[in-house]
Structures are given as C-alpha cells and as structure tokens.
Amino acid sequence: MSNFYKIECKDTLNLIDDFFDKRNKFYERVVEMCEYFGFERHQTTDHIVFGINFSNMIADPKKDMIDESLWKTSRVKNSNFLAVRPRATAKEHKAKYDSMLPKPMTYSVLNELILANGVDVFFKTYGYRYKSGEYFMFETSLPVSGVAIEILGSEYNKS
C-alpha cells in the first residue's frame, strides 16, 4: 500500500526544481533537433527506473518527405508512422545529428532527494505531482528520506 508525501524543505525543493529544469532542457533539445531536421514527432522514453532517452524522430509517410539517401526508416510498432534515423553513409548528416543528440538522463538525483539512502526503485517506484517553485508531492510504498513529510491522500489528490 502506498503512502503520500510532500517536500517542504526549500533547499530540497530548489534541487528538485534544478532536476526538472534539466529534464525540460532535455526535451527542448529534442524539439530543436526535430525542428532542425524537419520532423514534428519523436520517440522518447521517460521512466523513473530507466531514465529519459531519446530514441528517434518519427515521420508520417503520408505527409513527410524523407530523403532516403540521408535517412533510414523502420515501422513504429502498432502504428502507421516511421522511425527515422540517419544513414551511416551520409557522414556529415549523421555527424550533425549525433552532435545534436541529447545525453540520456536518469532520475537518480531525484531518487536520492526523496527516497531513503540505498533504496532501489527497480521493482517498486513512485508517482509524483510537481509544480515548479510551489510543491513536490509523491506516493510510494518505498522508504523515504528524512525531508519527506507524510500527508493524507486527499491532500495529494486535490493538487
């Protein structure tokens, strides 16, 4: 059974804000990259356990013109879209793509702030609600850090 918590410590909230600023910059970089190459969509995973990783850009074969000399494509599972990646043979193009790739991120900084020391989130994790500069609340059955204050579920759900 999960319990509900909030963080009120200003220093910890500032560190949480810093983490989410970096997370937002990751997504801004992905959007810039997609716009640069002329694609509107991307495939990115964002998971507390596995981190944030950019996979590829996504093209709609009915709308997007894809230069086959620059891009290799594959079907996105269970959709009509194509995953788009640069061809290794288009060396300059691939070098530009590689230089724009955002570095993968992990949630380890956030985990260390809100969970007890040494807690592994692989088998159990947490859900959270966050508003920059205002609050960070989360629910979990994992042991939490000393800065986490237990709250009622009704307080968690009203935000």
Tokens of 38: 């002329």
Which position has the higher pLDDT, 79 or 7? 7
Asked if residues 159 and 129 have their Cβ atoms less than 8 Å apart, the reply is yes
Q: What's residue 74's pLDDT? A: 94
pTM attached to this predicted model: 0.89
Q: What's residue 13's pLDDT? A: 96
Over the stretch 91-115, which tens digit does the pLDDT of each residue have? 999 999 999 999 999 999 999 999 9
Average pLDDT over residues 60-80: 90
Kindly indicate the confidence band of residue 9, based on its pLDDT and cuts at 50, 70 and 90. Answer: very high
Tokens of 8: 């009120």
Mention every residue, 6+ apart, whose C-beta is less than 8 A from residue 69: 87, 90
Q: What is the greatest pairwise CA distance in the chain?
A: 58
Over the stretch 13-52, which tens digit does the pLDDT of each residue have? 999 999 999 999 999 999 999 999 999 899 999 999 999 9
Kindly indicate the confidence band of residue 1, based on its pLDDT and cuts at 50, 70 and 90. Answer: confident
Q: What's residue 29's pLDDT? A: 96
124 has pLDDT over 90? no
Q: What's residue 123's pLDDT? A: 82
Q: What's residue 95's pLDDT? A: 97
- Average pLDDT in the chain: 93
159 has pLDDT over 90? no
120 has pLDDT over 90? no
Tokens of 82: 């194509």
Rounded-to-10 torsion of CA 5, 11, 14, 16: -40
